[in-house]
A = this chain, B = another copy of it.
Amino acid sequence: MTHPDTLTDPADAPVLKRLRARGTWEGRQRTRLTVRDFPPFATGEPERVGGDNSAPTPMELVLAALDGCLAVVIETVAVELGIEVQAIELESEATIDVRGFRGVAGVSPHFDRVATRIELRSDADPTGLAALREATVARCPALNLVRDAGAEVELEWVTAS
């Protein structure tokens, strides 16, 4: 039996996971979004720019996804390292230079800077925590997406036991 998505695959063979998301524009800058068979959700825009302020903006959703992605990677890596983590709180803040969206040449329309504060509750020793931080930064998909796109990325780690 073939089972392509296991940890025993040779490191030289790509292990591709496929993702899908659908959107239906509903007018006034709102889009209804569906992923698999989960309840639909939406993105919208503030009234100031012509939306109905009924949902987070698309880039706010990306920023929230970054928080969720960091948490799941921290949980996964902690298990691998035998580190116990009791709680994780995350807060991401980003700036976007909206001139890019308006079409000003040479200005990126996406994140200029992303700063995330990660509060861990853990009794792990400093060496373990350093390994946890290092692996998380190397392996988190959303964090690497933002960083590879050229945004200035700052992580502030705060650990309490």
Chain A interface bracket (under 10, 10 to 19, 20 to 34, 35 or more): 35 or more
Nearest CB on B from A140, distance (A): 7
User: Among B51, B56, B61, B144, which residue has its beta carbon within 8 angstroms of that of A110?
Assistant: B144
How many copies of this protein are present in the complex?
2
A159 within 8 A of B: no
Which 7 pairs of residues, A with B, have the shortest CB-CB distance? Answer: A23-B67, A43-B68, A58-B69, A25-B88, A21-B64, A23-B90, A148-B149
Interface residues of A (CB under 8 A from B): 5, 7, 9, 11, 14-25, 27, 29, 31, 33-36, 38, 41-43, 45, 48, 50-51, 55-76, 87-104, 107-112, 135, 138-142, 144-146, 148-150
